[in-house]
Structure 1
Amino acid sequence: MEVKLFYRTQRDLAFALNKLVDAYWKEEIKEDELIEGVKSMYENNQDKLRKNNEFTKVVQQQSGKRRLAIIGKILEIK
Protein backbone atom coordinates (compact mmCIF):
# COMPACT_ATOMS: atom_id res chain seq x y z
CA MET A 1 0.00 0.00 0.00
CA GLU A 2 1.44 3.34 -1.03
CA VAL A 3 1.27 6.24 1.42
CA LYS A 4 1.51 9.89 0.43
CA LEU A 5 3.75 12.08 2.56
CA PHE A 6 1.72 15.29 2.54
CA TYR A 7 -2.04 15.75 2.85
CA ARG A 8 -4.04 18.84 2.03
CA THR A 9 -6.66 18.67 4.79
CA GLN A 10 -7.28 16.97 8.13
CA ARG A 11 -10.10 15.03 6.51
CA ASP A 12 -7.78 13.68 3.78
CA LEU A 13 -5.24 12.66 6.41
CA ALA A 14 -7.90 10.93 8.53
CA PHE A 15 -9.18 9.04 5.48
CA ALA A 16 -5.67 7.83 4.63
CA LEU A 17 -5.00 6.74 8.22
CA ASN A 18 -8.33 4.88 8.28
CA LYS A 19 -7.44 3.08 5.06
CA LEU A 20 -4.07 2.09 6.47
CA VAL A 21 -5.45 0.75 9.77
CA ASP A 22 -8.30 -1.05 7.98
CA ALA A 23 -5.84 -2.70 5.58
CA TYR A 24 -3.90 -3.96 8.60
CA TRP A 25 -7.07 -5.33 10.21
CA LYS A 26 -7.94 -7.13 6.95
CA GLU A 27 -4.39 -8.52 6.92
CA GLU A 28 -3.62 -6.87 3.58
CA ILE A 29 -0.48 -5.24 5.00
CA LYS A 30 1.97 -6.31 7.69
CA GLU A 31 2.50 -4.69 11.06
CA ASP A 32 5.80 -3.13 9.92
CA GLU A 33 4.07 -1.37 7.03
CA LEU A 34 1.37 -0.03 9.35
CA ILE A 35 3.90 1.36 11.81
CA GLU A 36 6.09 2.87 9.10
CA GLY A 37 3.08 4.41 7.32
CA VAL A 38 1.61 5.99 10.45
CA LYS A 39 4.97 7.41 11.53
CA SER A 40 5.73 8.91 8.12
CA MET A 41 2.25 10.47 7.91
CA TYR A 42 2.68 11.93 11.39
CA GLU A 43 6.17 13.33 10.74
CA ASN A 44 4.98 15.27 7.70
CA ASN A 45 1.50 16.28 8.90
CA GLN A 46 1.85 16.93 12.63
CA ASP A 47 -0.17 20.14 12.49
CA LYS A 48 -3.13 18.34 10.86
CA LEU A 49 -3.07 15.33 13.19
CA ARG A 50 -2.58 16.90 16.61
CA LYS A 51 -3.34 20.21 18.32
CA ASN A 52 -2.95 21.03 22.01
CA ASN A 53 -1.47 17.60 22.70
CA GLU A 54 -4.45 15.61 21.40
CA PHE A 55 -5.85 14.47 18.07
CA THR A 56 -7.69 17.17 16.16
CA LYS A 57 -11.50 17.10 16.29
CA VAL A 58 -11.82 16.29 12.58
CA VAL A 59 -9.48 13.31 12.93
CA GLN A 60 -11.33 12.14 16.06
CA GLN A 61 -14.70 12.31 14.31
CA GLN A 62 -13.49 10.61 11.13
CA SER A 63 -11.38 7.87 12.67
CA GLY A 64 -13.08 6.67 15.83
CA LYS A 65 -11.71 5.41 19.13
CA ARG A 66 -10.33 2.03 18.05
CA ARG A 67 -8.28 3.39 15.16
CA LEU A 68 -7.01 6.30 17.24
CA ALA A 69 -5.99 3.90 20.02
CA ILE A 70 -3.78 2.02 17.57
CA ILE A 71 -2.37 5.21 16.05
CA GLY A 72 -1.72 6.61 19.54
CA LYS A 73 0.17 3.48 20.58
CA ILE A 74 2.30 3.56 17.44
CA LEU A 75 3.16 7.21 18.05
CA GLU A 76 3.41 6.61 21.84
CA ILE A 77 0.86 9.33 22.57
CA LYS A 78 -0.98 9.16 25.87
Structure 2
Amino acid sequence: MFYKTQRELADVINKLIDAYWNNEFKEELLIEQILELYINNPSKIRKDKEFTTIMKQQCGKRRLEVVNRILDINNSGH
Protein backbone atom coordinates (compact mmCIF):
# COMPACT_ATOMS: atom_id res chain seq x y z
CA MET A 1 0.00 0.00 0.00
CA PHE A 2 2.16 2.80 -1.32
CA TYR A 3 0.53 6.12 -2.10
CA LYS A 4 1.69 8.79 -4.50
CA THR A 5 0.37 11.80 -2.60
CA GLN A 6 -0.39 12.78 0.97
CA ARG A 7 -3.97 13.56 -0.02
CA GLU A 8 -4.56 10.03 -1.32
CA LEU A 9 -3.10 8.61 1.86
CA ALA A 10 -5.17 10.93 4.05
CA ASP A 11 -8.33 9.85 2.21
CA VAL A 12 -7.57 6.19 2.89
CA ILE A 13 -6.87 6.90 6.57
CA ASN A 14 -10.14 8.84 6.85
CA LYS A 15 -12.12 5.98 5.31
CA LEU A 16 -10.46 3.41 7.57
CA ILE A 17 -11.10 5.34 10.77
CA ASP A 18 -14.65 6.26 9.77
CA ALA A 19 -15.43 2.61 8.99
CA TYR A 20 -14.03 1.61 12.37
CA TRP A 21 -16.14 4.26 14.11
CA ASN A 22 -19.17 2.85 12.26
CA ASN A 23 -18.35 -0.61 13.67
CA GLU A 24 -17.63 -2.06 10.23
CA PHE A 25 -14.57 -3.95 11.50
CA LYS A 26 -12.60 -4.67 14.67
CA GLU A 27 -9.92 -2.56 16.30
CA GLU A 28 -7.20 -5.10 15.48
CA LEU A 29 -7.78 -4.60 11.76
CA LEU A 30 -7.64 -0.81 12.13
CA ILE A 31 -4.34 -1.03 14.01
CA GLU A 32 -2.89 -3.42 11.44
CA GLN A 33 -3.94 -1.23 8.50
CA ILE A 34 -2.69 2.05 10.03
CA LEU A 35 0.67 0.49 10.90
CA GLU A 36 1.03 -0.90 7.39
CA LEU A 37 0.24 2.51 5.89
CA TYR A 38 2.78 4.16 8.15
CA ILE A 39 5.52 1.59 7.47
CA ASN A 40 5.09 2.03 3.71
CA ASN A 41 4.58 5.83 3.69
CA PRO A 42 6.25 7.32 6.78
CA SER A 43 7.37 10.62 5.24
CA LYS A 44 3.86 11.29 3.91
CA ILE A 45 2.39 10.98 7.41
CA ARG A 46 5.00 12.55 9.68
CA LYS A 47 7.92 14.92 9.33
CA ASP A 48 10.13 15.64 12.35
CA LYS A 49 7.77 13.66 14.61
CA GLU A 50 4.81 15.90 13.66
CA PHE A 51 1.97 15.12 11.30
CA THR A 52 2.40 16.82 7.94
CA THR A 53 0.29 19.89 7.20
CA ILE A 54 -1.71 18.01 4.55
CA MET A 55 -2.50 15.22 7.03
CA LYS A 56 -3.63 17.78 9.62
CA GLN A 57 -5.86 19.54 7.07
CA GLN A 58 -7.33 16.40 5.50
CA CYS A 59 -7.74 14.11 8.52
CA GLY A 60 -8.53 16.49 11.33
CA LYS A 61 -7.67 16.35 14.99
CA ARG A 62 -9.84 13.43 16.11
CA ARG A 63 -8.65 11.04 13.41
CA LEU A 64 -5.01 11.98 13.92
CA GLU A 65 -5.41 11.33 17.65
CA VAL A 66 -6.36 7.76 16.73
CA VAL A 67 -3.41 7.42 14.34
CA ASN A 68 -1.02 8.91 16.89
CA ARG A 69 -2.23 6.53 19.59
CA ILE A 70 -1.73 3.51 17.32
CA LEU A 71 1.77 4.63 16.35
CA ASP A 72 2.72 5.40 19.98
CA ILE A 73 1.45 2.02 21.21
CA ASN A 74 3.41 0.29 18.47
CA ASN A 75 6.62 2.18 19.29
CA SER A 76 6.40 1.47 23.01
CA GLY A 77 5.80 -2.21 22.30
CA HIS A 78 9.16 -2.67 20.59
| 1:28 aligned counterpart, secondary structure | coil
SS in 1 for 2:68: helix
Alignment counterpart, residue 33 of structure 2, candidates 19, 25, 37:
37
Is 1:61 aligned to 2:57, yes or no?
yes
**Deviations for 1:1-55, whole angstroms, at most 9, x for unmatched residues?**
xxxx101100000000000000000000110100000000000000100111100
Which ranges in structure 2 are unaligned for 5 or more consecutive residues?
74-78
Q: What's the TM-score once normalised by structure 1's chain length?
A: 0.91
Runs of 4 or more above 6 Å deviation: none
Describe the SS at the equivalent of 2:13.
helix
1:11 aligned residue (7, 28, 33): 7
Q: Where in structure 1 are there 5+ consecutive unaligned residues?
A: none
Q: Pairwise CA RMSD of aligned residues? A: 1.0
Aligned residues: 73
Q: Percent identity?
A: 53
Partner SS, residue 8 of structure 1 = coil
Distance in 1 of aligned mates of 2:43 and 2:67: 15
